[in-house]
């Protein structure tokens, strides 16, 4: 069942799927059950309440689609928009590219604002478009909170500020796949209309739930959206929420139990502590990169991502070889550079259920690999820089004091 | 984590999700991993080859969508048909009803052939429609092989025969959700163009994979289909099959490992033996129903289903109460009567990973419940009828002889 | 990893090891951890407190030896007695025989009181021995509460009554392996000095913990016992209890977590309800045996066991063949007849995590097997007798009302 | 169920219990089963054959006692020796001390050869004792191969050489608890008479199997040994081996399946590769200790252990505080200094299922802790020293090339 056995733990540092806590693995270790018994709706209702906390919303309505992030995208778009609708969308890396491709194939009129990969969404362009759109032809702004391919975090508060300044009614749709539950995400405060994430990211579950959260305004828009949809239709869910049975079709029962355990762990740690931990690990990674003398693919500090760091390698090195050697020699899984940065960057995912020593083990591995592929890094230098920082900011584990 | 603890095993006899073999639960008991490493494509390629065996196809192309049966339906339809296309669809129970609802919402021109619930698809009407459709306005026949709500199995060979007789080129789309891997399903022999099932049915996995298998003719049709689709688009899968990485987006890794284990068990038992076992358990159930003096919801023997039996209760009894008492008192999960047969029928699912004594325990439980709700069944009568049959036809377990 | 795969669940009806609840399997599904961290002593202390409840003692001191029931026996004997000590021990079946063998090999002077297999311990003989032992040469009474080989439950209250009547100071050592947590066991009320059980019996865990519980009098006796012992020595445990680290050597961490989960389930169901459930299942089994026209190996009702029923087959039938066929054909595991009753009896274990429909499935299986081996049982007769009783006494599941 | 939750993985670096491979956790994730069915003896026989390979014996007879290392000690001694027998035993640390304590309590005449903690067994003293023992009053040599408390590996070949040189017939009993399957152990070549280990050490299982392997000479000695034993008696096992049912009492079925999976992984990696990996990790650890400017508790290179390193801290530092902070702040489990080296040393266990990056993460953690407790280590220095070595000696993972 394991074609590629290597001794010891696999060091999983792709920016998703991420490490699953043992508690969550245990919770999912079970037989199927009848989802029409009273147990599953009871479980579901609690989950729907609790999942709102990680979006920081009290007014949003969440949907737990048995799908992936790609499906969650489709649900966000087709429920709120109609074919031909003009949307402004930002192309800054592979995942925003894929979302835009989906938007185009769904027949929206996509106004693409492109930035160099490694830069954030160009919000000045957004502002000028919004400012000039007196007729409100722009129906939605679609933006990734965190571009997983380049490690770029966009400024969501700024988007809201622009919309507010010009009193523009465009819907605000956010891909939070590699941000929600790891970066500070404030759905209500930012007036996000649809936010979404996938279970295999910061929630640290297997793939299989696409969580979509809709604002009241988004729910209202859904009533008149003319995009064709059935599987991803919110209306069916809302109908079953009302009936109290919650599910228009069979849910992923295992993932529901897993989500329950995942949320329990997040709340036990404290959501703000989880976010702090991600900041800490992100900063530590960047300090290591700096110590190695390598460049962060992200061009400015304001866009630095606390969930994934894309690292540029010198031109004579193939970044894919870094990833390959990690896997073949050290049982380390790093993220490939994708598309425009293929061969040029590799990525360290530092999101989800992860702690300091896991990261330091990864950094030590990257150092050895860099030497293996001919980059003259000083061994221990990145680990030293990261740990000098970490040892001052890592808190005691509350349950153990 | 368990709101509704009851002592002993839960007796799961809904017609899906069904009991998961321990071997499969074990196989899924694992951490996430990088799906871009060579391991996952290697695993996937083997699965794609092996999964064809349960469809009995060598020419089909399978897709393992991270979705449910409802998503698999949508994938089958949107990849092969265009809005406005005329399709003939058979309404014979709740699941065919839901599929028709989807077909209509996807803007096909659905020619609904309705039968009384408890009867099979009216293939005489099909024949007359096909016969009279000289212009080939009918683009597809959509039919459930096995209607889960009423326990009715339709005659797929007959559908093919009709199409062949009139040399009609309509696509032949089959919902095999509660049949494939339990009933004899012959995709190639029957000339089925798209067949589909869900992981939580006879494959005995958790919910989360919608398996769709397309004939060469269906793949050809997909090239010109104008239905909007992205998540469910075969083209993206085909592109990544060619690239060798297999996945256009993150797969459900756990379910892939689970599917591997599930197929291994099915092949170890022997697919034909698995089908025989389902015949045996179906027949035994029907013998019990007869002994109880109750009516099978399925009106004729030719439609009897070997995966689920819907049982009609006398008018003064509420079938939902049968289900409720099973769950509340005996830790037994039976299937509710749905929609038109709500309150009138309850269902025993006898598909997937199940054996004779499990079924007899269920039958003994149903007998007690029937007495509880006021039906004067003779205790032991159904068990006696079923076991008189089973003891003559149950084979020795090959590995134990 | 599974040499003997058969479809569907294994029906486990040996009188131990018994079915493990899914919740317990989950709790044990984990990595190792450092047993010297504060976590394990904290867990252990709670377990030591809670485990007393299943012995119904407040004054006893429990020990969780990483061993089996055989080891627990050895611990009970070597800590309280010295070589040459006279003990009265009752031979009524295979397990009392094995314990007596151990007692003899440990060099005690064993005064064996033998009964026909199928009868209980002869307490009249005990009384006469106690009555005549004015010099108090008898140092201990050793008795199995429930003889697993014959399904005989001895009267513990009566033993205490005899000792009290004659003010005899003999220690009262009880093998509760197949009774504690299933039959009503009252350590304090009965003045039991050492009681013991194994994790794989009514506690429904894997094998690996021998639980021994010592009265203050037993602890006192341990101070002067001259039997050689190290691994099984209570003194080491008591020393580490005092130190607060609890363990003189590495414990079975997985089983401790499993025990925690097992006790949680028992307390959730309610210990008295657990005992009631065992009474119910025992009675139902005996009603089936009667309906089949077979004889219970246990000769009188006063000795009937609610955890295991040994069933005599007619002389022309080999009871081992009953067991073999169960396993080979129906995935049913029954208990063999042992030693004197080998070939003559087979056993149904009905203890631990088990419910009504599981038992009825087993009984239906036994009926088919009996026919297979040539006994003309009326199919359904035992199930009918059992379910006629069960349906009147099985309570609603509290969490589901 | 987890009193002390901390985010991310626990970094388990105590010298046992050690990390369990996921494959082994999966293999043990199962219900109980009947150990008298043909399946368990079949499994057991394979295990008994295969387990000999890790002892490097073809002539030895293994026993898989459901016990711990302490029980395995007791089994080794009581089966081969009689009360009053003179044995030579070496006191070099906490675990040899505990074994000697057991030997004395079992009433052997123990000739203790003590060394300073941190030094190996004094084999010169052994030689002189053997040389002068013309009457062969010494019945056995008892020695730990690897003293877990101080990280000292004794020279087994030398012991055999001494015995051979003087043609001394003493039995040669070896505690291989923290060596077998990690250090090169050659039972046949060294003429070891009884070797033993515990499942939670290099085999990377939970606690619960004490594996004892006896040479033909030891089996012969067992026939005349007058030590009292029942649970630990080899004779009962040999009897059931002959009968083919293998078990005199209930085995730990879960651990048998776990052992099967553990051995499969070891053989897949290759036993010699496993030993090389331990050498590599041991050396890397020592290089880090040196870089930190700290002293290895082990005084000479010839005794360096490749499974555990005990590290001395400067007098002003409490080594227990190092361990405490690791657990409280970094989710790192290190070994305490025990008894004579309590407060003076802490230990890094580097045995079992472990790889390079796991170790480097641990070393990075130790560096931060050392700074936390006031030792002015240069951060990154140990990691650098270890990784400079590791990157040259770590092989590609065979299955991934």
| Residue A111 pLDDT > 80 | yes
**Model pLDDT for residues C68-116, shown as the tens digit of each residue:** 999 999 999 999 999 999 999 999 999 999 999 999 999 999 999 999 9
- Contact across the interface for A17 and B25, Cβ inside 8 Å: no
- List chain C domain ranges: 11-18+270-400, 23-267
**D31 touching chain C per CB within 8 A:** yes
Interface of B with C in 211-270 (CB under 8 A): 265, 268-269
**Class of domain A22-267 as given by CATH:** alpha beta
CB B344 within 8 A of CB B286: no
Cα–Cα dist B139/A50, whole Å: 46
Cα–Cα dist A62/A213, whole Å: 4
Q: Where are any strands of DSSP class E within D83-239?
A: 86-91, 109-114, 138-144, 146-147, 152-153, 171-175, 194-198, 210-214
Residues 6+ apart with CB under 8 A from D9: A9, A19, A353, A355, A358, D331
A contact test, residue of B231, B234, B334 with most A CBs within 10 A: B231
- Our CA-based measurement puts residue B28 at a distance from the nearest CA of chain D, in whole angstroms, of 9
Mark the binding-site residues of A for substrate, compressed into ranges. Answer: 347
Tell me what the mean pLDDT of segment C164-183 comes to. 98
Cα–Cα dist D9/D333, whole Å: 11
- Contact across the interface for A31 and C22, Cβ inside 8 Å: yes
Confidence of residue A43 (pLDDT cuts 50, 70, 90): very high
**Residues of chain A above pLDDT 70, percent:** 99
Give the nearest partner residue to D12 out of C20, C32, C250, using CB atoms: C32
**Residues of chain D above pLDDT 70, percent:** 99
DSSP C254-289: HHHHHHHHHHHHHHHH-HHHHHHHHHHHHHHHHHHH
D contact test, residue of C24, C231, C233 with most D CBs within 10 A: C231
Tell me the pairing of strands A171-175 and A138-144.
parallel
- Our CA-based measurement puts residue B134 at a distance from the nearest CA of chain A, in whole angstroms, of 31
Tell me what the mean pLDDT of segment D234-263 comes to. 97
Q: Where on the phi/psi map is residue D270: left (φ > 0), alpha (ψ -120 to 50), or beta? A: left
Interface of C with D in 165-194 (CB under 8 A): none
CB A186 within 8 A of CB A159: no
Residue B210 β-bridge partners: B65, B198
Contacts of B10 in chain A (CB under 8 A): 31, 33
Give the nearest partner residue to B26 out of D30, D38, D400, using CB atoms: D30
Q: Where are any strands of DSSP class E within A154-204?
A: 171-175, 194-198
**Model pLDDT for residues D88-132, shown as the tens digit of each residue:** 999 999 999 999 999 999 999 999 999 999 999 999 999 999 999
Q: Record the tokens describing residue D363, joined without a space.
A: 């070393």
**D62 touching chain C per CB within 8 A:** no
Average pLDDT value over all residues in chain C: 97
Tell me the pairing of strands A86-91 and A11-13.
unpaired
**Model pLDDT for residues B10-36, shown as the tens digit of each residue:** 999 999 999 999 999 999 999 999 999
Best CATH choice for the domain A11-18+271-400 from the list 3.40.710.10, 3.40.50.1220, 2.30.30.30, 3.90.1150.10 = 3.90.1150.10
**Residues of chain A above pLDDT 90, percent:** 99
Q: What DSSP designation does A37 have?
A: S
Confidence of residue B140 (pLDDT cuts 50, 70, 90): very high
Contacts of D230 in chain C (CB under 8 A): 70, 74, 101-102, 105-106
Best CATH choice for the domain C11-18+270-400 from the list 3.30.230.10, 2.60.120.260, 1.10.730.10, 3.90.1150.10 = 3.90.1150.10
Average pLDDT value over all residues in chain A: 97
Q: Record the tokens describing residue C199, joined without a space.
A: 């994790």
| Residue A148 pLDDT > 90 | yes
The length of chain D in residues reads: 401
Against chain A, the chains showing at least 3 CB pairs within 8 Å are B, C, D
The pLDDT assigned to C2 comes to 62
Cα–Cα dist A311/C113, whole Å: 81
Give the nearest partner residue to B207 out of A4, A38, A66, using CB atoms: A66
Angle separating helix axes A156-165 and A123-132, nearest 10 degrees: 20
- Our CA-based measurement puts residue A265 at a distance from the nearest CA of chain D, in whole angstroms, of 8
| Residue B202 pLDDT > 70 | yes
Mark the binding-site residues of D for substrate, compressed into ranges. Answer: 347
Confidence of residue A235 (pLDDT cuts 50, 70, 90): very high
Against chain B, the chains showing at least 3 CB pairs within 8 Å are A, C, D
Cα–Cα dist C5/B393, whole Å: 19
CB B389 within 8 A of CB B283: yes
Contacts of A38 in chain C (CB under 8 A): 400
**D128 touching chain C per CB within 8 A:** no
Q: Record the tokens describing residue A73, joined without a space.
A: 């995208």
Q: Which chain C residue lies closest to B394 (C-alpha atoms)?
A: C329
C27: phi then psi, degrees, rounded to nearest 5: -65, -25
Give the three-state DSSP class for A176: coil
Residues 6+ apart with CB under 8 A from A330: A11, A365, A368, A369, D355, D356, D357, D394
Mark the binding-site residues of C, compressed into ranges. Answer: 347
**Model pLDDT for residues D299-328, shown as the tens digit of each residue:** 999 999 999 999 999 999 999 999 999 999
- Our CA-based measurement puts residue C387 at a distance from the nearest CA of chain B, in whole angstroms, of 7
Contacts of C208 in chain D (CB under 8 A): 66, 208, 252, 254-255
**Residues of chain C above pLDDT 90, percent:** 99
Tell me what the mean pLDDT of segment B205-234 comes to. 98
**Model pLDDT for residues A353-363, shown as the tens digit of each residue:** 999 999 999 99
Confidence of residue A2 (pLDDT cuts 50, 70, 90): low
- Our CA-based measurement puts residue A388 at a distance from the nearest CA of chain B, in whole angstroms, of 30
**Residues of chain C above pLDDT 70, percent:** 99
Cα–Cα dist B94/C341, whole Å: 56
**Model pLDDT for residues B142-168, shown as the tens digit of each residue:** 999 999 999 999 999 999 999 999 999
Give the three-state DSSP class for D177: coil
| Residue D242 pLDDT > 90 | yes
Give the nearest partner residue to B257 out of A1, A20, A71, using CB atoms: A1
Between the two ends of chain A, the Cα-to-Cα distance in Å is 41
Residue C368 β-bridge partners: none
Tell me the pairing of strands C308-312 and C295-296.
antiparallel
Closest CA to D180 of D13, D46, D53: D53
| SS percent in chain B: helix, strand, coil, step 5 | 45, 15, 40
Cα–Cα dist C186/C188, whole Å: 6
**Model pLDDT for residues D37-57, shown as the tens digit of each residue:** 999 999 999 999 999 999 999
Q: Record the tokens describing residue C181, joined without a space.
A: 């947590």
B283: phi then psi, degrees, rounded to nearest 5: -60, -45
CB A336 within 8 A of CB A319: yes
Residues 6+ apart with CB under 8 A from B317: B373, B374, B375
Give the three-state DSSP class for D320: helix
Q: Cα A143 from chain centroid?
A: 12
Give the nearest partner residue to D32 out of C18, C30, C228, using CB atoms: C18
Tell me the pairing of strands B86-91 and B109-114.
parallel
- Identical fold for domains C11-18+270-400 and C23-267, yes or no, is no
- Contact across the interface for D30 and B38, Cβ inside 8 Å: no
- Contact across the interface for C71 and D67, Cβ inside 8 Å: yes
The pLDDT assigned to D2 comes to 62
Cα–Cα dist C336/C375, whole Å: 18
Confidence of residue D4 (pLDDT cuts 50, 70, 90): confident
**D135 touching chain B per CB within 8 A:** no
The pLDDT assigned to B401 comes to 86
- Contact across the interface for C17 and D39, Cβ inside 8 Å: no
Tell me what the mean pLDDT of segment B37-41 comes to. 95
Average pLDDT value over all residues in chain B: 97
- Contact across the interface for C6 and B399, Cβ inside 8 Å: yes
Tell me the pairing of strands D210-214 and D61-65.
antiparallel
H/E run at residue A139: strand A138-144
B contact test, residue of D26, D38, D258 with most B CBs within 10 A: D26
Confidence of residue B4 (pLDDT cuts 50, 70, 90): confident
Angle separating helix axes C253-269 and C271-292, nearest 10 degrees: 80
Confidence of residue C24 (pLDDT cuts 50, 70, 90): very high
CATH (residue range C23-267) = 3.40.640.10
Q: Record the tokens describing residue C18, joined without a space.
A: 């018994």
Q: Which chain A residue lies closest to C42 (C-alpha atoms)?
A: A400
The pLDDT assigned to A4 comes to 86
């Amino acid at each position: 069942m394991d074609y590629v056995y290597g001794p010891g733990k696999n060091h999983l540092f792709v920016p998703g799927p991420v490490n699953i806590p043992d508690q969550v693995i245990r919770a999912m270790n079970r037989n199927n059950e009848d989802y029409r018994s009273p147990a599953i709706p009871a479980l579901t209702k609690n989950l729907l309440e609790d999942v709102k906390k990680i979006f920081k919303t009290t007014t949003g309505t969440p949907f737990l689609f048995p799908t992936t992030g790609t499906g969650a995208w489709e649900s966000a778009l087709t429920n709120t928009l109609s074919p031909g609708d003009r949307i402004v969308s930002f192309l800054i890396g592979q995942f925003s590219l894929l979302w835009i491709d989906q938007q185009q194939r769904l027949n929206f009129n996509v106004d693409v604002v492109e930035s160099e990969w490694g830069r954030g969404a160009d919000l000045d362009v957004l502002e000028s478009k919004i400012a000039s759109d007196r007729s409100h032809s722009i129906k939605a702004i679609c933006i990734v909170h965190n571009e997983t391919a380049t490690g770029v975090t966009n400024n969501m508060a700024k988007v809201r500020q622009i919309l507010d300044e010009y009193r523009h009614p465009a819907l605000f749709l956010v891909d939070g796949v590699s941000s929600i539950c790891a970066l500070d995400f404030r759905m209500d405060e930012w007036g996000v209309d649809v936010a979404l994430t996938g279970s295999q990211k910061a929630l640290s579950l297997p793939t299989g739930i696409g969580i979509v959260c809709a604002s009241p305004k988004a729910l209202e828009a859904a009533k008149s959206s003319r995009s064709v949809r059935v599987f991803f239709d919110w209306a069916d869910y809302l109908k079953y929420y009302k009936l109290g049975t919650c599910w228009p079709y069979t849910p992923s029962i295992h993932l529901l139990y897993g989500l329950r355990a995942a949320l329990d762990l997040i709340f036990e740690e404290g959501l703000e502590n989880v976010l702090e931990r991600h900041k800490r690990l992100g900063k530590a990674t960047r300090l290591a990169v700096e110590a190695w003398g390598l460049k962060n693919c992200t061009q400015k500090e304001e866009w630095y991502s606390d969930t994934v760091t894309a690292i540029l390698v010198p031109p004579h090195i193939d970044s894919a070889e870094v990833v390959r050697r990690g896997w073949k020699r050290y049982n380390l899984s790093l993220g490939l550079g994708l598309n425009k940065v293929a061969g040029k960057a590799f990525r360290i995912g530092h999101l989800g259920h992860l702690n300091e020593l896991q990261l330091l083990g990864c950094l030590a591995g990257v150092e050895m690999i860099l030497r293996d592929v001919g980059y003259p890094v000083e061994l221990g230098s990145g680990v030293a820089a990261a740990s000098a920082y970490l040892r001052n900011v890592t808190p005691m584990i509350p349950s153990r004091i």
